[in-house]
């Protein structure tokens, strides 16, 4: 697919003929320097936006043929989100934030399921706190609980550790990995942090709106970053 934006008189291509498939249950990282089109790609994959040309197939549905509201319903049913800035609704408590996707689906057991999810991310005792009463790590754990509340087939994480210190970040990633293993949820992680990316099974690298490489992660083979020849290049670009 291709995504272009109209900028003044000329069109600016942010993504150029990007094409790949992510199998069910996979854990994929999309990496690339700032401005490479990562976030745009994530938006298109999740159906937050539609490509200028080409199509996005999500669990068999072509997102480009769906209306805005149909895509919203699809998200509610099959997609979860974790953001860099958590994006919790400030006026709702932790529990209520987790309940939202369930309630949007009309799920009756929303409070019970939300309580259980928060307990699983270790926040069983902070159900009724508001986002501004929680630390960054706790907020992100609420966000993850919310992302999993509708048992999504697919979870999108946009720099989920970007606003956290490394230790807290590591715990968040462990949580994601655990949920991926236990529920078989497909995870698409967008980051410019290679250490984080290497925990995925597969890494898609973007530069200037195009896929420059799509490889199985070497993490399972060789945990050292030096083992990846492309890593240095990307590090040099992003660093």
Partner 1 sequence: MRIGQLLGLAWRESRTARRRLLLYMSSISLGVAALVAIDSFASNTQQSVREQARALLGGDMALNSRQQFPAPVLAALDTLRREGVGVATVSTFASMAFVARSGTTRIAQIRAVSAGYPFYGEIVTAPARQWARLQSGRFALVDPSLLTALSARIGDTLALGFARFTIIGTLVSVPGDVAVTSAIGPRIYIPSAFLDETSLLMFGSRADHEALLKLTPALPPVRFIYRFKERLESAQVRYRTAAETEFNLTEAVDQLRDFLSVIGLIALLLGGIGVASGVHAFVMRKIDTVAILRCLGATSAQVLFIYLLQAAVMGLLGAAFGALLGVVIQLALPHVLADFLPVDVSVSLEPRAIVTGLVVGLWVAMVFALRPLVALRNVSPLQTLRRESDADALRGAKFDPIRVLLALLVVGSVAALGVARAEDAQQGLAFAAGIGAAVAMLYAAAAALSSGARRVVRPRWPFVLRQGVASLYRPGNQTRAVVLALGFGVFLMSTVYQVQHNLLRSVSIKLDASRANVVFFDVQDDQGAPLDTIVRAHGHTLVQRTPIVPMKIASINGLPSSRIIGDTTKGRPRRAGWALRREFRSTFRDAIVPSEKVTAGRFHTGGSAPPSLPQVSVDVSVANDLKLALGDTIVWDVQGVQVATRVTSFREVNWTRFEPNFFVVFERRALENAPKQYVLLARVNGQQAVAELQRDVVSRFPNVSSLDLTLIQQTVGRVLDKVTAAIRFMAGLSLALGIPVLFSAVSATRRERLREGVLLKVLGATRRQVGRIMLAEYLLLGALGSLVGVVLSVAGAWGLMHFVFKQAFQPAVLPALAVALLMMAVSVSIGLLTGRDVFQETPMAALREA
CB atoms within 10 A of CB 115: 18
Instruction: Count interface residues toward partner 1 (CB under 8 A).
Output: 34
**Which listed residue (3, 113, 141, 146) binds partner 1 by CB under 8 A?**
146
User: Based on CB atoms, which residue is closest to partner 1, 44 or 194?
Assistant: 44
127 binds partner 1 (CB under 8 A): no
**Which span (23-31, 96-104, 134-142, 171-179) binds partner 1, by CB under 8 A?**
96-104
**Which span (19-27, 39-47, 166-174, 191-199) binds partner 1, by CB under 8 A?**
39-47
Q: Which of residues 206-235 bind partner 1 (CB under 8 A)?
A: none
Tracing tokens 């700032």 back to the chain, one arrives at 34
**Which listed residue (16, 64, 103, 213) binds partner 1 by CB under 8 A?**
103
User: Based on CB atoms, which residue is closest to partner 1, 53 or 105?
Assistant: 105
Query: What angle, rounded to 10 degrees, do the helices at 94-104 and 110-120 form?
Result: 130
87 binds partner 1 (CB under 8 A): yes
140 binds partner 1 (CB under 8 A): no
73 binds partner 1 (CB under 8 A): yes
56 binds partner 1 (CB under 8 A): no
CA distances from 167 to 28, 39, 177 (A): 22, 24, 16
**Which span (5-13, 71-79, 165-173, 174-182) binds partner 1, by CB under 8 A?**
71-79
User: Closest separation between CB of residue 71 and partner 1, Å?
Assistant: 9
**Which span (36-44, 116-124, 199-207, 208-216) binds partner 1, by CB under 8 A?**
36-44
Residues that bind partner 1 (CB under 8 A): 39, 42-43, 46, 48-49, 68-69, 72-77, 79, 81, 83, 87-92, 96, 100-101, 103-106, 110, 146, 150, 158
């Amino acid at each position: 697919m291709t995504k272009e934006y109209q900028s003044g008189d000329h069109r600016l291509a942010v993504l150029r003929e990007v094409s790949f498939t992510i199998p069910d249950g996979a854990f994929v990282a999309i990496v690339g320097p700032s401005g490479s089109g990562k976030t745009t790609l994530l938006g298109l994959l999740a159906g937050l936006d539609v490509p200028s040309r080409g199509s996005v197939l999500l669990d068999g549905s072509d997102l480009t043929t769906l209306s805005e509201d149909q895509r919203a319903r699809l998200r509610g049913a099959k997609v979860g989100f974790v953001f860099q800035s958590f994006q919790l609704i400030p006026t709702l408590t932790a529990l209520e934030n987790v309940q939202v996707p369930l309630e949007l689906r009309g799920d009756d057991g929303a409070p019970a399921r939300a309580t259980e999810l928060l307990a699983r991310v270790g926040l069983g005792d902070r159900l009724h706190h508001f986002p501004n009463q929680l630390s960054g790590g706790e907020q992100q754990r609420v966000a993850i609980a919310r992302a999993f509340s509708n048992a999504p087939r697919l979870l999108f994480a946009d720099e989920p550790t970007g606003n956290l210190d490394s230790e807290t970040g590591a715990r968040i990633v462990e949580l994601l990995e655990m949920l991926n293993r236990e529920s078989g949820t497909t995870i698409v992680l967008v980051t410019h942090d290679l250490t984080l990316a290497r925990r995925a099974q597969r890494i898609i690298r973007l530069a200037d709106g195009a896929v420059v490489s799509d490889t199985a992660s070497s993490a399972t083979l060789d945990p050292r970053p030096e083992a990846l020849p492309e890593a240095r290049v990307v590090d040099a670009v992003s660093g």
